[in-house]
Amino acid sequence: MDSLSIYAARASGLHKLNPVTKFSLTLFLLVLGLALPGMWTSYLILVLIIVPLAIWGKVLDRLTRIVLTISWPFILSVFIIQTLFWGKGTTLFEFGPFAPKLEGAIFAFTSSGRILLIMADFILFSLATRPDTLMISLKQAGLYPGMAYIIVTTLQLVPQFAAKANAILNAQRARGLETQGNILVRARALLPLVMPLVIGSLMEVEERAIAIEARAFNSKHKETSLIEIPDSQVQRIVRIGMIVAALLAIVIRILWR
C-alpha cells in the first residue's frame, strides 16, 4: 500500500474496472444519496449498493474499520447538537435543562446517513483504485491534466496528512514530548505537533510544483504513457447511464421540493 493512498491491492472484479468507471460510480452514488428525498435513502444505498461492492472488492472489513473510525465523532456531535439545540419541536424527554427534540433527532439521523454514505463512497473508491492508474485513465478519457491532478491529489490528502502527522508524533515522542495524559497535557503537545505539520505541508506544495514543471506537466504536446488502462464499450455505456440517472435524481429532488 502506498503511503500517499489507502489503496488495498486485491484480485477482485471491482479492482479490475476502469478507474473512470469507478470514479463515475462514486459520483453517481454521491448524487443519488444527496438528491433523493427520504431519511432512509442514504442507509439503503449504503447497505444495498456500497456493502455488496465492498464484498465484491474484498475490502469490506477494511472499509468498515476506516469509516467507523473517522465518522463516529462527526455523528456523535451531530446528534448532540441537533437534538439538544433544535429549538421548538416535539420533546422526547426532559433531563434537567435539556429537552431533546424529535425533529432534531430525525434530522441528525438523516445527516448521519449522509455522512456515512459520503465517507464510505469515497473510501471504497480509494481502496479499490490506485492513484497513478486513476491519473492516467482520466487523461486518456480526455480530462484536462490540471483537473485530473486536482482530483488525484484531493484523494491523497487524508492518508498523506495522516502519515505525516504520525511521523511528526513519533519524532516528538522520541524527543521526550508528552502526548498522552489529561486535557492540559494534550493541549500543550498540540502546538509542537501542528506547526511542523503545517510548515511541512507548505514546503511540500513547492516541491510538488517543481516536480510538476520537471515532468512538463503544462506542455501542449500530447502525453504518452507506458501503461494503457483497459476499457470496454460496456463500461462506457454504463457510465453514460449513470450520468443520465444522476440527472434524473436531481430533477426528482427539484420536483419533490
Closest CA to 1 of 169, 126, 117: 126
pLDDT digits (tens, 9 = 90+) for 139-171: 777 777 777 777 777 776 666 666 677 777 777
Return the DSSP state at 222: P
Quick count: other Cβ atoms within 10 Å of Cβ 168? 17
Cα(10)–Cα(224) distance, rounded to whole angstroms? 27
Three-state DSSP class for 183? helix
For 231-235, what is the mean pLDDT?
A: 90
Model pTM score: 0.75
Cα(49)–Cα(257) distance, rounded to whole angstroms? 26
Cβ pair 161, 196 in contact under 8 A: no
pLDDT digits (tens, 9 = 90+) for 73-87: 888 888 888 888 887
- What local confidence, expressed as pLDDT, does residue 234 receive? 93
Q: Sort residue 38 into left (φ over 0), alpha (ψ -120 to 50) or beta.
A: left
Cα(184)–Cα(180) distance, rounded to whole angstroms? 10
**What is the overall mean pLDDT for the chain?**
81
Q: pLDDT > 70: what percent of the chain?
A: 77
pLDDT digits (tens, 9 = 90+) for 207-223: 766 766 666 666 666 66
∠ CA 190-192-196, rounded to 5°: 115
Closest CA to 82 of 112, 118, 115: 112
| Residue 199 pLDDT grade (very low, low, confident, very high; cuts 50, 70, 90) | confident
Three cell numbers written together for 44: 439503503
| Residue 1 pLDDT grade (very low, low, confident, very high; cuts 50, 70, 90) | very low
Cα(235)–Cα(139) distance, rounded to whole angstroms? 17
pLDDT digits (tens, 9 = 90+) for 61-111: 999 998 988 888 888 888 888 888 887 878 877 777 777 888 888 999 999
- What local confidence, expressed as pLDDT, does residue 86 receive? 83
- What local confidence, expressed as pLDDT, does residue 144 receive? 73
Q: Which amino acid is at 224?
A: T
